[in-house]
Structure 1
Amino acid sequence: MRFLVRLFAVIGLLAVLLVGGLVGLWLMLRPDAKPLPDGLVLSFDFQKSLAEAAPDDPIAGLLSGKQPTLVEVVTAIDRAAADPRVVGLVGTVGDSGGKGFAMTQELRDAIQRFRAAGKFTIAHAETFGELGSGMQGYYLATAFEQVWMQPMGDVSTTGLRAELPFLRGTLDKLNVVPQFEKRYEYKTFAEQYTNSEPSPANKEATESLIGDLFEQWVAGVAAARNLPVEAVRAAVDRAPLLDDEAVEAKLVDKLAYADEALDAAKAKGAKGNDTPVLDLLEYGSAARAEPTSAPPADAPKVALIVGSGPIMRGEGEVDPLSGESTFGAETVAEHFQAAIDDKDVRAILFRVDSPGGSAVASAVVGRMVDRARAAGKPVVISMGPVAASGGYWVSMKADRIVAQPGTITGSIGVVGGKMVTKGLTDWAGLNFVAIERGKNAGMWSSNNGFSPSQTERLNAFMDSTYDAFTRGVADGRKLPVEKVREIAKGRVYTGRQAKEIGLVDALGGYQTALAQVRELIGVAADAKVNLVPFPQPKGPIENLMDLMSGDTRAEAGRAVSALVAADLLAEIRPVIAPLAPYIRARSMDETVLLMPPLLVE
């Protein structure tokens, strides 16, 4: 058996070396990049799922493949807007690609800046929905000058809907008793386990959230399509709209196929049908490699650090089921320390996309924000689709907080507890005999409920954490603690609502956040900055080299396994990803600062 293990380890190592050698040979023999032509038209499939950052773990990098990041796409669009060689952009739209409301707004802003530079834009969709919601896909499409759709497509802009899951009935059937404490009434994360329907506070907050997001959608579509708000509302209430109905309602400009949209885009270029068309990210890579694209030597260096996913203690990980990353506090803290130690870094742009998680882990990252500021390096938060609960904790002490109008934020509160499964195990005939020392030794056991002394300790933890959270917000946001406690209570807000009550400084995305950075470091509003990801993203070759540098057979085996798994997961991930939240286990310390579950369609 030992011989077989060694044999397979050697085979794995040879396979990795062979793959690395072949890729290295290809890199040496490939032709040099050609200069970009004039009259260039760009194309991009905006239906692709976008990551907030490239994974820095080699295995995660191989598993995720080359998934584009939001900042790559936005940067490429902005670069193209200022490039006289680029005349237009044709985008494939329709499906949301799992983007949150705020990410869609970030892309819309970038496309509108591109249009403002005098470039043409055409969006083409096969359909907006087809037996599903087309709200996000159509919302993005309206940022383009023209919206084209394939004949037989439909515009399924049927509205926004929040579905709140409640499992109490199921738990009752299983004889499982949920025991949770919270601070306060709007911190409704545990209601999915403790209730059969939403509490009045839960319903009030969700109504407000969905109502504001819907108003943003209607106003954005109406302005982009030059339609009265009432006409857009009427179209939503009529939807799904058939292809001719969508044209009649002025939601779609033309019915045509994808090849016809591409031909029309080419015709707008100087060379007609011979106009060169290049993928947006390929353009971005080629333009970035040009000597003239390098920032000036005196451009301020700004570190870009991304914290994405549920906040956990330890290192960040990638869930192979969903492809989603975790916000590892240790990993993010290391990135902060590297930026603090880099004498050339003038400021830190911290991108936060997280529904929350561990209070302890959130405090670790919050401490690094304090240390960066103490080192004379301002920290500006750019909130992604979600920056709530623990995601707000890590943001609250920053110099400035920027969010999109549709960012989900706030949820300043705490919840904790456990599931008591004794009824289920008794029914199944499973008996546990406890031998313990210490009055509260069984506090976190699922085989018994909280005793009075344990309940007192849990509530002391709730009060302490909530007090630290609200006082931290008051200190960071320069607000009276009484006002913070009034607007906190675990309530979730949109970015637009959060700005109105002082939890956010400005509305926008990366460009707005960088404007805040420039102001804080005292440079001109149009000064170029050198935005550098911390850590620098690695390509497939670097990931393979990192794995091989471990000098162990196990690392070689992991590399081969990762390459095989990447192909397999690419096929099955779309099927199993929706199940991941239900089958991924989380410990107690990862759920105390989480926003309530919310599925918005």
Structure 2
Amino acid sequence: MSATHATTPRRRGPITRVVAGAWNALDFSRRLVFNLLFLLLVIVVLFALATAERAHPLLDRTTLVIAPEGALVEQFSVDPVTRSLGRMTGQDTAEVRLRDLLLALESAKDDKRIERVLLRTDRMAFSGYASLREVAAAVTELRAAGKQVVAFGEYFDQAQYLLAAQADEVYMDPQGGMVLEGLGRYRQYYREGLQDKLGVDIHLFKVGEFKSAAEPYVRDDASPESKQADLFWMNDIWQRFLGDVARARKLDAATLAAGIDTMPAGIEAVGGDLARYAVEQKLVDGLKTVEELQLLLAERGVADEDSDSGVREITMDAYLKHVTSPLADADARPQVAVVVAEGQIMGGQQKPGTVGGESTSSLLRAARDDEKVKAVVLRVDSPGGEVFASEQIRREVVALKAAGKPVVVSMGDLAASGGYWISMDADRIYADESTITGSIGIFGMFPSIPRTLEKIGVHTDGVGTTRFAGAFDPTRPLQPEVGQVIQSVIDKGYREFTGKVASARNRTVEAIDAVARGRVWSGAQAKERGLVDEFGGLRTAVADAARRAELGDAGKWRLRYVEKPLSPFESFVSGFASSRAGQSLLGRSEFVHGLLAKALPQAEQELRFVEQTLSRGGNPVKAVVHCFCMP
């Protein structure tokens, strides 16, 4: 009896049975989901193996088609995973990297399989003339190597045309057009709207009569100093533009300039036909449709019935797969590292397209700690931003030099204000003659809105333990003594800025102050004033860095971009999504397409830099080194 009782299982209570049942159901669901995911992964791998992507064959007498769409940038503004998935869902960010464009042109120069290059510049957007002139120089070198370059466009703006003009022949669609108009810089001014209409008082504190970045918030028009400085550097860049076009098209620069002044009468004389007017001005060689251009290229090159264009051709993206090595990371040669600082300078960790005080500093630190890296090129394309974030980056430049690694700065289209702050301690500073730089000045702004609140019947009142408690509350009027504190901080920042520049450039503070005061210069003007060392683009800066590190001939070292590394999973997703197999499997699936579209992060609306700066926490008195100085 007792033995039988001992073997009888104990009954579980109702609560225990419910919990156990729920757990078993959860465990079953977990295993089912993982098994389904595993099965999906197996299918994906098998499909990838069955449809393994092969490189586009590169045959002799091939035409390289360089027709990138989007903005020319130093680095992509989205991560590789998002970019790859975006391509499949039709939400790709329209950007082309300068380094990729230069690599394609440089490689084609010595590639016997490339017979000619078709250049479509009308699909590109340029933010400045320095990087554009660097690409133009690469096209000129390509032609000097004996490769024919044909440019085509439907419509050209003047920046697109500057690059197209470097080709042997320039053709335009008969319905197209172009207008050279000159450089202008016009901004909106908000004082009346903010102060008179809304009652928002913007208190501006600055050093430098030419520091005009914040003028729109306190004026209704540009100051005389702003107009004087802007016209000075814009005229320099514009005259260089005319000279570059005239040299490429074998024209006279003065005649080009005169043609702009007489443009209305000239266009009227051809019946408003902009394309015909461009031909008469000798800016283009002829008018052709895309089909007519393709027939011309087929006659000169090799016809290909399998090609959509009827010409044996290869796209830039496909060509880059032939000239880049997938084993680059295993290369044991010493390295010249490039760290890109593109965009506004903000504190903390920032995504690509914005310079982060911490994120960019960590990249420089990684280059310092990497034994393979022997020299660093800091590529700067920035209007500046926060003082402290700029100083964080500058300190890393100094630390690299202290570690025995040369640092060379290559300025892109814009390296002004905070962009100059992070550049000044380099061993050598290179800039294009049309780079925008300088703007060594500093400002701060404080908005107060008590009059705004009064308009809707809201008032602020209370008490504080000291006379300055709550002094930085924007709903209260700004006390004159608090304004004095802010101006003292700004003055100190300017002394630091000019003092550091003087020390870095081996000049007196007085000499730097004379060319500072917030004034913007072209690269050519900056070199005349000792703010820039040499003219040259990224390639020139890289070669100088290698020479300073005594790395020998180009084949004995390699170039490496230091960027935030991808995780193994991110690498897999990015690689697969970029492959033909991934695009075939995922791109054709409406279900997967919908899931990816929902999973992709939505683009955030850009906020004004001043609003971003004011919204960041921390010190209520914050100095800013920023330049709104693009035409």
- Provide TM-score, normalisation by structure 2: 0.81
What's the counterpart of residue 239 of structure 2?
A: 215
Q: Which amino acid is the alignment partner of residue 460 of structure 1? A: S
More deviation in 176-185 or 298-307?
298-307
What's the counterpart of residue 232 of structure 1?
A: 256
Equivalent position SS for 1:165? coil
Instruction: Give the share of equivalent positions with the same residue, in percent.
Output: 31
Preserved contact between residue 206 and residue 490 of structure 2 (Cα < 8 Å)? yes
Q: Which runs of 5+ in 2 are unaligned?
A: 1-21, 268-273, 575-591
Q: Which amino acid is the alignment partner of residue 206 of structure 1? A: D
- For 1:125 and 1:14, the matched residues in 2 are separated by 53
Q: Which amino acid is the alignment partner of residue 491 of structure 1? A: R
Equivalent position SS for 2:254? helix
- Relative to structure 1, the CA distance from residue 540 to residue 237 in structure 2 (aligned partners, 3 Å threshold; closer, same or farther) is farther
Q: Which amino acid is the alignment partner of residue 175 of structure 2? A: M
* Alignment partner of 1:157 out of 169, 180, 191: 180
- The size of the alignment, in residue pairs, is 563
- Relative to structure 1, the CA distance from residue 32 to residue 246 in structure 2 (aligned partners, 3 Å threshold; closer, same or farther) is closer
Equivalent position SS for 1:49? strand
Per-residue deviation, 1:219:
0.7
What's the counterpart of residue 256 of structure 1?
A: 288
- For 1:72 and 1:580, the matched residues in 2 are separated by 29
Preserved contact between residue 158 and residue 239 of structure 1 (Cα < 8 Å)? no
* Alignment partner of 2:613 out of 577, 580, 586: 586
Tell whether 2:269 aligns with 1:246: no
Equivalent position SS for 1:68? strand
Preserved contact between residue 56 and residue 537 of structure 1 (Cα < 8 Å)? no
Per-residue deviation, 1:528:
5.4
Equivalent position SS for 2:359? helix
- For 1:387 and 1:209, the matched residues in 2 are separated by 14
RMSD: 3.5
- For 2:39 and 2:77, the matched residues in 1 are separated by 24
Equivalent position SS for 2:613? coil
- For 1:354 and 1:15, the matched residues in 2 are separated by 48
* Alignment partner of 2:63 out of 38, 41, 46: 41
What's the counterpart of residue 321 of structure 1?
A: none
Per-residue deviation, 1:167:
0.8
More deviation in 473-482 or 43-52?
43-52
* Alignment partner of 1:174 out of 198, 203, 226: 198
- Relative to structure 1, the CA distance from residue 567 to residue 98 in structure 2 (aligned partners, 3 Å threshold; closer, same or farther) is farther
What's the counterpart of residue 321 of structure 2?
A: 285
Q: Which amino acid is the alignment partner of residue 529 of structure 2? A: I
More deviation in 222-231 or 474-483?
474-483
- Relative to structure 1, the CA distance from residue 495 to residue 96 in structure 2 (aligned partners, 3 Å threshold; closer, same or farther) is farther
Structure with more relative contact order (C-alpha pairs < 8 Å, separation 6 or more): 1
What's the counterpart of residue 322 of structure 1?
A: none
Task: Give per-residue Cα distances to partners, 1:63-105, cap 9 Å, x unaligned.
Answer: 6847431111111211111212112110112255243222221
What's the counterpart of residue 5 of structure 2?
A: none
- Provide TM-score, normalisation by structure 1: 0.84
Task: Give per-residue Cα distances to partners, 1:196-234, cap 9 Å, x unaligned.
Answer: 111121111111122112111111111111101122112
- Relative to structure 1, the CA distance from residue 334 to residue 565 in structure 2 (aligned partners, 3 Å threshold; closer, same or farther) is farther
Per-residue deviation, 1:313:
0.8
What's the counterpart of residue 15 of structure 2?
A: none
Preserved contact between residue 386 and residue 613 of structure 2 (Cα < 8 Å)? no
Equivalent position SS for 2:338? strand
- For 1:449 and 1:275, the matched residues in 2 are separated by 71
More deviation in 331-340 or 441-450?
441-450
- Relative to structure 1, the CA distance from residue 18 to residue 459 in structure 2 (aligned partners, 3 Å threshold; closer, same or farther) is farther
What's the counterpart of residue 586 of structure 2?
A: none
Per-residue deviation, 1:597:
2.6
1:120-519 pair list within 5 angstroms: 120-128=148-156, 134-171=157-194, 172-239=196-263, 242-269=274-301, 276-289=312-325, 299-317=333-351, 325-434=353-462, 436-519=464-547
More deviation in 503-512 or 485-494?
503-512
More deviation in 11-20 or 202-211?
11-20
Preserved contact between residue 222 and residue 229 of structure 1 (Cα < 8 Å)? yes
- For 1:267 and 1:335, the matched residues in 2 are separated by 50
- For 2:127 and 2:258, the matched residues in 1 are separated by 26
What's the counterpart of residue 597 of structure 1?
A: 628
Preserved contact between residue 46 and residue 91 of structure 1 (Cα < 8 Å)? no
- For 1:59 and 1:425, the matched residues in 2 are separated by 46
Tell whether 2:96 aligns with 1:68: yes
- For 1:463 and 1:85, the matched residues in 2 are separated by 61
Per-residue deviation, 1:310:
0.9
Preserved contact between residue 142 and residue 224 of structure 1 (Cα < 8 Å)? yes
| Larger Rg computed on CA atoms | 2
